Amino acid sequence: MKRSNWLGAMALSLGVSALAMTFTDHSQAQGLPEFTLQDVSSDVQMPWGMAWLPDGDMLVTDRNGELYRLSDGQAGSPIAGLPEIHVNGQGGLLDIVLHPEYETNGWLYISYSDPEGDGEGSNTSIMRAKLDGNRLSNQEVIYRAEINSTRGQHYGGRMIFNDGYLFFTIGDRGDHFTNVQDLSRDGGKTYRINDDGSIPQDNPFINVPNAKPAIWSYGHRNQQGIAINPLTGQIWTSEHGPRGGDEINIPEAGKNYGWPYVGYGINYNGEVLAEATHGAGMEQPIWYWDPSIATAGIEFVSSDRYPELKNHLLVGGLRGSKLELLEISDDRVIRSTDLITDSGRIRAIRQGPDGYIYLGIEGEGIKRLIPAN
Amino acid sequence: MKRSNWLGAMALSLGVSALAMTFTDHSQAQGLPEFTLQDVSSDVQMPWGMAWLPDGDMLVTDRNGELYRLSDGQAGSPIAGLPEIHVNGQGGLLDIVLHPEYETNGWLYISYSDPEGDGEGSNTSIMRAKLDGNRLSNQEVIYRAEINSTRGQHYGGRMIFNDGYLFFTIGDRGDHFTNVQDLSRDGGKTYRINDDGSIPQDNPFINVPNAKPAIWSYGHRNQQGIAINPLTGQIWTSEHGPRGGDEINIPEAGKNYGWPYVGYGINYNGEVLAEATHGAGMEQPIWYWDPSIATAGIEFVSSDRYPELKNHLLVGGLRGSKLELLEISDDRVIRSTDLITDSGRIRAIRQGPDGYIYLGIEGEGIKRLIPAN
């Protein structure tokens, strides 16, 4: 038993507040200081996505179907003009990103579970719009996944701009054998589109008959984290896997990441889905977790506020209730550390314009990561 | 706090034997069964190296300066004919390997701290010899590191045959700034020689004036584990680092692994040696530990006895007192797991000809890894 756990057991038996447990014991380690979480706002209870306006205000999505602007941590009334949203299981209002040239063109992008289109239920859509006071205007749906499903699982929905393109994820919608390996169907994919929804002419499947031309990579279960490696410019994703199969991947153009045929876990109902961990033509993950921590948001640290974390990857756990640090070298994980434990369910992680790392935590709100001293 | 630790705390508070603690709780994980250690022999108290004769008997070195033959776990009297050995700190009789064609040529190889040669104290030598009854014969020193030192640290000494060559390691002998980056000096290196001690003509530094021609790679602190990746044929080593800097590396011909200028730890006396973690022309590790576990023996599993472990790397910890599993894909670690905890100080790990994994544990003897059920 590690010393940190003894300390934990002692603290509890002495009735010490659980607050003290949010620190991980790094006293034997040399490279990392201790960190803690500082409250920023408790006004948004189910934060899923975060973005910063030029004036420093935060836009925060609430999965329950609302969008808020936070000034100094205080939420005003919900922003009007959202599309109809099918709040259903893991669906709802999901991510938000600003256009890299937001200051000149004013475009913001939201992802959400959209009841429009064919079939009962909903599927993931991407809308762009502008913020006009406390209301969205110029709304355009620039991607609508087909077909709808009444299932509540695996909308994906994480977005990021990279190299001028909008990348986003859509999960398998619980229909892994139908959707994921079929390029003519949405779901279980990473996508790349232009900022207006048009398709880049060098997308990998643009010349494949019947393939959805927006697809960038496939064979994914439910990617709920996406971030850009500041040293390579590549996108990295977290994939919320089956029990014992959460993954980190670097989705590359046209590649197959194997789900549901290749993976490291079993379904939550005990069904063995991916019997093999390796398959011809299928990529291995960069990292995986067994037991699963239920990965969601991820972020690379690029600011100078955390010298020891710079260029490394932060991963949030929902069920794992922790913030994990994966130290990266040449696209390899060279060490894994629990940076914060007992954090609550971390859904979103983003580095703000002030260089601090902000966390969206279910049922708690927004917090930021600071050195403990 | 993880469930496994709660169980541990409960077990202790109930007075349950510490024996039950040698199992790691994998009940939430899907891929791995539980493992335990089975006693093989307690006749050799400081086992450092293990090799198997064609009849199944084990040759086991005792760091205290003796070599034993174990039949069914029973040691006979020490084998005679060893060279003079300077038992000093980490020095003593170290590793033993058999020639790949032992059955026809009878050569075995030992590494040890040798008081012969220039200077007080000792340095690491490699001897080959034949086993004639219970006595060595035909002894030839085929490599002698220069110059001797009275320091007790970092003899290295791990050996393995690969592709017909004998690879071995010599540590920095505690003189990191003098020895390690200087190719004209021994210490802090991996070496490659022919089976008779002659130098392969394609060794990387063979044409570098004054360089020791046996050097394969440099910039190492103290490599005490070496194994061959069964999928790639490359050698992998563990490097016992400073506090917070144990590493796994893949030593490649002519490359510099950075010690003492680049690394992840500080010296045990608190001195900061490697101020940078990256350096131009210096390789990054495949994996590192902070806090250190004090790595020693490593082994890749290639037998069919452990389907879940096959082609993955086992790493023993001395201070860490555990057997760790690093799951490997394409020369990357994709997951790290404690397979056995509270194992005692694991010095040596080798897969036997029966496909079982054998561990040499200080103060306890030889054990083997078996599924718990």
Q: Which residues of A touch B8 (CB under 8 A)?
A: 1, 5
Lowest-confidence region among A149-158, B180-189, B238-247, B293-302: B238-247
**Residue A278: active-site member:** no
- The pLDDT assigned to A272 comes to 65
**In a domain? residue B86:** yes
Q: How does residue A269 score in pLDDT terms, banded at 50, 70 and 90?
A: low
**In a domain? residue A10:** no
CA-based nearest residue in chain A for residue B245: A30
Mean pLDDT (whole number) for A314-337: 95
Q: Residue B353, Cβ neighbours under 10 Å: how many?
A: 11
Q: Produce one character per residue of A134-154: b if its CB has 16 or more CB atoms within 10 Å, e if not.
A: eebeeeebbbbbeebbebbbb
Question: Which among A5, A277, A284 is the nearest to B5, CB-wise?
Answer: A5
- The pLDDT assigned to B22 comes to 35
Lowest-confidence region among A62-76, A206-220, A266-280, B341-355: A266-280
Q: Choose among B325, B320, B254, B340: nearest CA to B287.
A: B325
Q: Which residues of A touch B30 (CB under 8 A)?
A: 243-245, 264-266, 290-291
pLDDT above 90 for B362: yes
Question: Which among B30, B32, B290 is the nearest to A31, CB-wise?
Answer: B290
- Residues spanned by the domain of B187: 31-371
Q: How does residue A280 score in pLDDT terms, banded at 50, 70 and 90?
A: confident
What would the pLDDT profile of A209-255 be if each residue is shown by its tens digit? 999 999 999 999 999 999 999 999 999 999 998 877 899 999 999 99
| C-alpha Rg value of chain A to the nearest Å | 20
pLDDT above 90 for B360: yes
**In a domain? residue A6:** no
CA distance B346 to A230: 39
Q: Which residues of A touch B243 (CB under 8 A)?
A: 30
The residue of B231, B334, B340, B341 whose CB has the most chain A CBs within 10 angstroms, and thus the best one to mutate to test that interface, is: B334
**In a domain? residue B51:** yes
Which residue has better confidence, B110 or B8?
B110
- The pLDDT assigned to A260 comes to 86
Contact A299, A226 (CB under 8 A): no
- The pLDDT assigned to A16 comes to 30
What would the pLDDT profile of A189-212 be if each residue is shown by its tens digit? 999 999 999 999 999 999 999 999
Interface of A with B (CB under 8 A): 1-2, 5, 8-9, 21, 28-32, 243-245, 264-266, 277-278, 284-291, 329-337, 341-342
What would the pLDDT profile of A307-316 be if each residue is shown by its tens digit? 999 999 999 9
CA-based nearest residue in chain A for residue B290: A29
Mean pLDDT (whole number) for A128-135: 97
Closest Cα in chain B, distance from residue A220 (Å) = 17
The residue of B3, B273, B329, B341 whose CB has the most chain A CBs within 10 angstroms, and thus the best one to mutate to test that interface, is: B329
Identity (one letter) of the amino acid at B174? Answer: G
Q: Which residues of B touch A31 (CB under 8 A)?
A: 244, 264, 277, 290
- The pLDDT assigned to B241 comes to 83
DSSP H or E run through A68: strand A66-71
Percent of chain B with pLDDT over 90: 80
Q: Do B266 and A335 touch (CB under 8 A)?
A: no
pLDDT above 90 for B158: yes
- The pLDDT assigned to B20 comes to 28
Q: Do A284 and B5 touch (CB under 8 A)?
A: no
Q: Which residues of A touch B29 (CB under 8 A)?
A: 244, 290-291
What would the pLDDT profile of A169-187 be if each residue is shown by its tens digit? 999 999 988 999 999 999 9
- Mean pLDDT, chain A, integer: 89
**In a domain? residue A15:** no
**In a domain? residue B24:** no
pLDDT above 80 for B216: yes
CA distance B269 to B40: 38
What would the pLDDT profile of B279-288 be if each residue is shown by its tens digit? 777 888 999 9
- The pLDDT assigned to B269 comes to 66
**In a domain? residue A356:** yes
- The pLDDT assigned to B24 comes to 39
Mean pLDDT (whole number) for B336-357: 97
Percent of chain B with pLDDT over 70: 89
Mean pLDDT (whole number) for B345-364: 98
Question: Which among A5, A244, A331 is the nearest to B29, CB-wise?
Answer: A244
Q: What is the CATH number of the domain that holds B159?
A: 2.120.10.30
Mean pLDDT (whole number) for B286-309: 94
Give one word for B4, left, alpha or beta, with left for phi > 0 and alpha for psi -120 to 50. Answer: alpha
Q: Which residues of B touch A264 (CB under 8 A)?
A: 30-31
CA distance A133 to B54: 83
Tokens 């060794």 correspond to: B203
Q: Choose among A357, A302, A372: nearest CA to A324.
A: A357
pLDDT above 90 for A2: no
Mean pLDDT (whole number) for B30-44: 91
Closest Cα in chain A, distance from residue B72 (Å) = 33
**In a domain? residue A12:** no
Closest Cα in chain B, distance from residue A63 (Å) = 28
Q: How many domains does chain A have?
A: 1
CA distance A304 to B219: 29
pLDDT above 70 for B11: no
Q: Do B8 and A5 touch (CB under 8 A)?
A: yes
Number of helical H runs and strand E runs in chain B: 3, 24
Q: Report the complex ipTM.
A: 0.71
